[in-house]
């Protein structure tokens, strides 16, 4: 029986992982789960899957969950805080760890899984965006196995030669092509971006995702973060990574070889496909995803991203080329910007401006350990807050003058 720990079991990726596990009860078992605030959902997951361990961030929430599980006769141990997340990530009965906590909060437990030598199913971009060198070093030291879960990186993984060891040129690879849907605003007039609401930004045309990643898809920052992630996963320089918009989300990404061949991975937009691939790798198991009917799709189209419409892609490429603290600042500023947008405190069109300003003000420094990563992260968040305060004051003054 293959034990699976899930960091972020109540999110979209976590729920899909449990769905795949439930389809193969003779093969996989969820042995440890973690959640942030959705205690009711985690309780139901514990009832259904009977994990050994469940962890939540808040101690009070942990006690409420513990009481409910005792009343229901479920012997799952409950922990809280960073120690609880690390316990999930390093659970001794978990061969695989699904790293699906969104944002910087997932970095420490994912790093703990790497140091423990786990098979890491990586859905948390921040581990590589914020701490690529630190994380990859932990993977090597711990003897961990790293399998990508993002549909794009999983597609690249499937399209590269079996046993790819990080040498693009030696494997005859010319470039990696990451596809992007273009989100809900691919054709929206630019002058209407300022009026975009959180509900509109979270209504992705193809994928069902959490609110933060849905906004990132709408700005295409999600694709920018994936560029940085691809660099670390596949040892690919920025010049060997290309982004192309593909509205149908059927071709999940491609690898172009020097002989002119382009190998792509296709499938319906369903996260259970890459999850099932990684869980069973190198074997294949049924995922629950509907078979792809190409005749029904009828047409596949591709276009280059418009830098005026999606400046976040260029910001991410520049941060990757700059290296060091720049990707950390990019991620932190974007997290602040998206949170403020979802709260109604920042307009959609100003998200890239905030990110660009914070990265520009971040000193060019190397980050050699996790403490340095979090120091840059904290500084970038302070800079983002200061930018918001200043720009809101300027806008308020302008509004009063106009009145």
On whether both 119 and 193 belong to a single domain, the answer is no
**pLDDT value of residue 208:** 63
On whether both 163 and 287 belong to a single domain, the answer is yes
Q: Is 392:344 a contact under the CB 8 Å cutoff? A: no
Q: Is 154:274 a contact under the CB 8 Å cutoff? A: yes
Q: What are residue 80's DSSP bridge partners?
A: 56
Residue 396, domain CATH: 1.10.1740.10
Question: Per the structure block, which two tokens stand in for 72?
Answer: 């229901």
On whether both 141 and 162 belong to a single domain, the answer is no
On whether both 390 and 271 belong to a single domain, the answer is no
**pLDDT value of residue 400:** 38
Q: 40 in a domain, yes or no?
A: yes
Residue 88, domain CATH: 3.40.50.720
Q: Is 316:221 a contact under the CB 8 Å cutoff? A: yes
Q: Is 241:230 a contact under the CB 8 Å cutoff? A: yes
**pLDDT value of residue 257:** 98
On whether both 15 and 112 belong to a single domain, the answer is yes
Cβ-in-10-Å burial (0-12, 13-18, 19+) of 373 comes to: buried
User: Which of 338, 339, 337, 342 shows the shortest CA–CA distance to 391?
Assistant: 337
**pLDDT value of residue 401:** 44
On whether both 374 and 337 belong to a single domain, the answer is yes
Spatial distance between the Cα atoms of 27 and 47, rounded to a whole number of angstroms: 19
Q: 305 in a domain, yes or no?
A: no
On whether both 11 and 145 belong to a single domain, the answer is yes
Q: 378 in a domain, yes or no?
A: yes
Q: 317 in a domain, yes or no?
A: no
Q: Is 111:97 a contact under the CB 8 Å cutoff? A: no
On whether both 99 and 82 belong to a single domain, the answer is yes
On whether both 256 and 332 belong to a single domain, the answer is no
Spatial distance between the Cα atoms of 165 and 197, rounded to a whole number of angstroms: 44
On whether both 47 and 164 belong to a single domain, the answer is no
Question: Per the structure block, which two tokens stand in for 136?
Answer: 């990859």
**pLDDT value of residue 403:** 45
Q: 314 in a domain, yes or no?
A: no
Q: 275 in a domain, yes or no?
A: yes
What is the extent of the structural domain holding 355? 323-402
> What residues of the chain score a pLDDT lower than 50?
396-403
**Number of domains comprising the chain:** 3
Spatial distance between the Cα atoms of 13 and 150, rounded to a whole number of angstroms: 10
Q: 306 in a domain, yes or no?
A: no
Q: 49 in a domain, yes or no?
A: yes
**173-180: strand order across its sheet:** 241-245, 173-180, 251-257, 262-266
| Entry pTM | 0.90
**pLDDT value of residue 264:** 97
Q: Is 42:53 a contact under the CB 8 Å cutoff? A: no
**pLDDT value of residue 239:** 96
**pLDDT value of residue 103:** 75
């Amino acid at each position: 029986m293959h034990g699976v720990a899930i960091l972020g079991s109540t999110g979209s990726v976590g729920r899909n992982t449990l769905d795949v596990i439930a389809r193969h009860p003779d093969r996989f078992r969820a042995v440890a789960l973690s959640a942030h605030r959705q205690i009711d959902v985690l309780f139901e997951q514990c009832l259904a899957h009977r994990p050994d361990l469940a962890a939540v961030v808040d101690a009070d929430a942990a006690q409420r969950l513990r009481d409910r599980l005792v009343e229901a006769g479920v012997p799952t141990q409950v922990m809280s805080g960073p120690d609880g997340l690390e316990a999930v990530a390093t659970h001794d009965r978990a061969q695989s760890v699904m790293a699906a906590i969104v944002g910087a909060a997932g970095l420490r437990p994912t790093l703990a899984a790497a140091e423990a030598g786990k098979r890491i199913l990586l859905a948390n971009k921040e581990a590589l965006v914020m701490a690529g060198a630190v994380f990859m070093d932990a993977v090597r030291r711990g003897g961990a196995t790293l399998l990508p879960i993002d549909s794009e990186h999983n597609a690249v993984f499937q399209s590269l030669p079996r046993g790819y060891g990080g040498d693009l040129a030696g494997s005859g690879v010319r470039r990696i092509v990451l596809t992007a849907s273009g989100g809900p605003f691919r054709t929206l007039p630019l002058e209407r971006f300022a009026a975009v609401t959180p509900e509109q930004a979270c209504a992705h045309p193809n994928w069902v995702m959490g609110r933060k990643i849905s906004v990132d898809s709408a700005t295409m920052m999600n694709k920018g973060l994936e560029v940085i992630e691809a660099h670390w996963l596949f040892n690919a320089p920025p010049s060997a990574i290309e982004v192309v918009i593909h509205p149908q989300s059927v071709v999940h990404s491609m690898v172009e070889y020097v002989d002119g061949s382009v190998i792509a991975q296709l499938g319906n937009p369903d996260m259970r496909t890459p999850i099932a691939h990684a869980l069973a790798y190198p074997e294949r198991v049924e995922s629950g995803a509907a078979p792809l009917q190409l005749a029904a799709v009828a047409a596949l189209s591709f276009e280059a991203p418009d830098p005026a419409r999606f400046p976040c892609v260029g910001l991410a490429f520049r941060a990757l080329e700059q290296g060091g603290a720049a990707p950390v600042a990019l991620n932190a500023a974007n997290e602040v910007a998206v949170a403020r947008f979802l709260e109604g405190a920042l307009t959609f069109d100003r998200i890239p401006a905030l990110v660009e300003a914070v990265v520009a003000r971040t000193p060019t420094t190397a980050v050699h350990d996790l403490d340095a990563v979090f120091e840059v992260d904290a500084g970038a968040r302070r800079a983002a807050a200061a930018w918001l305060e200043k720009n809101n004051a300027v806008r308020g003054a302008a509004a009063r003058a106009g009145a």
